[in-house]
Amino acid sequence: MSKFELNGNNLDLETFGKIINDPNASVSISDEAGKKISKCRKIVDEIVEKNITRYGINTGFGKFSNVIIDKKDTIELQKNIVLSHAVGIGEPFPQKIAKGVMLLKLNSFLQGYSGVRFEVVRTLISMINKNVIPYIPEKGSVGASGDLAPLAHMALAMTGQGKAYFEGKLMSGESALKKAGIPVLELRQKEGLAILNGTQVMTSVLGASLLEAEKLIKSADIIGSLSLEALKGSPSAFDERIHMARPHKGQIDTAFNLRMLLKGSKIVKSHKDCPKVQDAYSLRCMPQVHGAVKDTYNHAKKILETEMNSVTDNPLVFDSGNEVISGGNFHGEPLAFVSDFMTIAVSELASISERRIEYMLDTSTSDGLPAFLTSKGGLNSGFMMTQVTAAALVSENKVLSHPASVDSIPTSANKEDHVSMGAHAARKLYEVCSNTNTVLAIELLCAAQGLDFRGSENTSSALKKVIKEIRNRISFMKSDRFIQPDIIKAGDLISQSKLIEAAENSVKLKI
């Protein structure tokens, strides 16, 4: 069992991935974080006791922020905000993303600025460790004041309402907590608002997307190398001197990956003194395109990890001067921007991949490979229709790449008059990652087929290991067969990092 101690400042993408993807992972919190939580809560309790007017503790919310709430009604106020804001619709988020939402909300509370009791933190820890996963509908957030509607559904499960998954089954929140032996949380002053305010949903979706994107980026270099070999492409465009003359890190790293993946190939050696001067851009410009995706990924990862260790609810409670201050840390603009940017970048991985697919299927460009990579063309259609599927997904990605962050619809009677649409941006990225996985899977099938026609025994040692991993699961297609299962298996090789593991037996890939 993997154990992780959190303190509000030490969560990174790798740890996030290990926790949300491992049902046996457990979390705990540092002693210092516990002290911060208790110290901050005392300030809230004092405000309640002295009946000092502070937003969200004894006032209404949004447009109702000027409405003072009687002391006797302040607990009901917190219950009501959860009920009234749980208006999400659509399919539920995948359970790993919902688990990530709880993890991020927990980490945010550990900095001691949210004013919640330790009971709230304990409930989150128990739900994470026992895999009680809230049912959170995907749609309903505009990205400010954070992810109100979806977080309200998480709060419902925490308080024994709504729905949650436990041991693979969907049930009422109350039943899930009871079966897991977790006490139902009774909200106190400020706690409902603290749970609902924040960017944890869009952050979790972005985090899950970047975990997938990392696999796609590394796999694209591997698959592109296979395609280059199948097409008898020239490696000269990956010469280190070219890339040092334009020293973008991602470009340099991609060229390095390609050189190492192709090292020792007899097919590469056959290019010595060959008359071919240049390949198509989809082969020759892999360092420039894949490299730009790498640079975008690393920028997005930096923003994400900052957000993972940030406090994004409102208002915040500070022990310096015992102040409760309203602000706007819940606004999702930083995440919306990088989600949109990353969506564009991942879409380009699919776009350039589709071009390599077409190059391998067309006899006018494939340098001697049989049409559509089949021996008996006409009787067999071979991989003809796989390119159509790839084209459909690439086109869909183009639509999804329209930025969400340029949109804003005022809400709450113009109190919340500029919103980020960050949840939309992150959800689109997650979908584009899925589409791109399939496009790369199709390229993988075509490249393996083409390289077998060419003579896979002549490729590099690194790519031989990759081919072996593919052929352990997917056989050479001698004649037409049901191809969709092969596409799914190839996608699994990417998403399960099997291609990366095979290649990295020979070379450590850079990203």
> What is the per-residue pLDDT across 179-199, written as a single tens digit (0 to 9) for each?
999 999 999 999 999 999 999
How far apart, in whole angstroms, are the C-alpha atoms of residue 333 and residue 211? 21
pLDDT of residue 74: 92
The pLDDT of 429-437, averaged and rounded, is: 98
Tell me the pLDDT band of 272, cut-offs 50, 70 and 90.
Answer: low
Residue 320 CB partners (closer than 8 Å, separation 6+): none
Sheet of 163-166, strands arranged across: 133-134, 163-166, 169-172
> Which CATH number fits the domain that encloses residue 194?
1.10.275.10
How far apart, in whole angstroms, are the C-alpha atoms of residue 213 and residue 246? 25
Q: Are residues 147 and 216 in the same domain?
A: no
Q: Which two tokens stand for residue 109?
A: 């509370």
Q: Which of 137, 168, 198 is the last residue of a domain?
A: 198
Report the DSSP pairing between strands 3-6 and 26-29.
Answer: parallel
Tens digits of residue pLDDT in 38-83: 999 999 999 998 888 898 898 888 778 888 999 899 999 999 999 9
How far apart, in whole angstroms, are the C-alpha atoms of residue 325 and residue 327? 7
Domain membership of residue 384 (yes or no) is yes
Q: Are residues 177 and 214 in the same domain?
A: no
Q: Are residues 249 and 346 in the same domain?
A: yes
pLDDT of residue 275: 65
Distance separating the N- and C-terminal Cα atoms of the chain: 29
The pLDDT of 322-333, averaged and rounded, is: 92
Q: Are residues 188 and 292 in the same domain?
A: no
The pLDDT of 136-140, averaged and rounded, is: 97
Total domains present in the chain: 2
With a cut of 70, say whether residue 134 has pLDDT above it: yes
Tell me the pLDDT band of 297, cut-offs 50, 70 and 90.
Answer: very high
Tell me the pLDDT band of 242, cut-offs 50, 70 and 90.
Answer: very high
HSE at residue 142, side-chain half, CA atoms within 13 A, is: 15
How far apart, in whole angstroms, are the C-alpha atoms of residue 217 and residue 238? 17
Whether the link from the prior residue into 315 is cis, omega within 30° of 0, is: yes
Helix or strand or coil: residue 414? coil
pLDDT of residue 268: 83
The whole domain housing 23 covers: 3-198
The pLDDT of 396-406, averaged and rounded, is: 98
Tens digits of residue pLDDT in 144-173: 888 999 999 999 999 999 999 999 999 999
With a cut of 70, say whether residue 273 has pLDDT above it: no
Sign of CA dihedral 392, 394, 395, 397: positive
Q: Which of 137, 166, 198 is the last residue of a domain?
A: 198
Q: Which two tokens stand for residue 309?
A: 């260790």
Q: Are residues 279 and 177 in the same domain?
A: no
Contact 121, 37 (CB under 8 A): yes
C-alpha triplet 490, 493, 499: angle, nearest 5°: 120
pLDDT of residue 60: 85
Q: How many Cβ atoms sit within 10 Å of the Cβ of residue 10?
A: 14
Q: Are residues 245 and 146 in the same domain?
A: no
Domain membership of residue 508 (yes or no) is no
How far apart, in whole angstroms, are the C-alpha atoms of residue 163 and residue 154? 9
> Which CATH number fits the domain that encloses residue 447?
1.20.200.10
Tell me the pLDDT band of 416, cut-offs 50, 70 and 90.
Answer: confident
How far apart, in whole angstroms, are the C-alpha atoms of residue 493 and residue 486? 11
The most distant pair of C-alpha atoms in the chain lies apart, rounded to whole Å, by 88
Question: What one-character DSSP code corresponds to residue 170?
Answer: E
Domain membership of residue 511 (yes or no) is no
Question: Considering 55, 113, 165, 359, which one is annotated as catalytic?
Answer: 55
Q: Which residues pair with 411 in a beta bridge?
A: 416
Domain membership of residue 510 (yes or no) is no
pLDDT of residue 1: 74
How far apart, in whole angstroms, are the C-alpha atoms of residue 451 and residue 461? 14
Tens digits of residue pLDDT in 442-451: 999 999 999 9
Domain membership of residue 36 (yes or no) is yes
Contact 477, 454 (CB under 8 A): no
Question: Percent of the chain, pLDDT > 70?
Answer: 99
Contact 388, 302 (CB under 8 A): no
With a cut of 80, say whether residue 274 has pLDDT above it: no
Q: How many Cβ atoms sit within 10 Å of the Cβ of residue 363?
A: 12
Contact 336, 202 (CB under 8 A): yes
How far apart, in whole angstroms, are the C-alpha atoms of residue 180 and residue 177? 5
Q: Are residues 107 and 234 in the same domain?
A: no
Q: Which of 137, 170, 198 is the last residue of a domain?
A: 198
Contact 138, 90 (CB under 8 A): yes
Q: Are residues 349 and 321 in the same domain?
A: yes
Is 55 part of the annotated catalytic residue set? yes
Long-range contacts of 27-32 (CB under 8 A, 24+ apart): 27/3, 27/103, 27/106, 27/125, 27/128, 27/129, 28/3, 28/4, 28/125, 29/5, 29/106, 29/110, 29/121, 29/125, 30/5, 30/6, 30/110, 32/7
Tens digits of residue pLDDT in 336-390: 999 999 999 999 999 999 999 999 999 999 999 999 999 999 999 999 999 999 9
Question: What one-character DSSP code corresponds to residue 314?
Answer: S
Q: Which two tokens stand for residue 228?
A: 């280059």
Q: Are residues 100 and 174 in the same domain?
A: yes
Question: Radius of gyration over alpha carbons of the chain, in Å?
Answer: 26
Any idea how long the chain is?
A: 511
Q: How many Cβ atoms sit within 10 Å of the Cβ of residue 239?
A: 11
Domain membership of residue 235 (yes or no) is yes
pTM for the whole structure? 0.97
Q: Are residues 186 and 238 in the same domain?
A: no
Domain membership of residue 189 (yes or no) is yes
Region of poorest pLDDT, from 62-66, 288-292, 427-431, 470-474 = 62-66
Whether the link from the prior residue into 401 is cis, omega within 30° of 0, is: no
With a cut of 90, say whether residue 469 has pLDDT above it: yes
Helix or strand or coil: residue 396? helix
Q: Are residues 471 and 395 in the same domain?
A: yes
How far apart, in whole angstroms, are the C-alpha atoms of residue 433 and residue 417? 31
Helix (H) or strand (E) holding 350: helix 333-361
The pLDDT of 258-286, averaged and rounded, is: 87
Report in angstroms the alpha-carbon separations of 74 from 80, 119, 174, 323.
Answer: 10, 18, 23, 19
Q: Are residues 45 and 125 in the same domain?
A: yes
Domain membership of residue 422 (yes or no) is yes
Mean pLDDT, the chain, whole residue set: 96
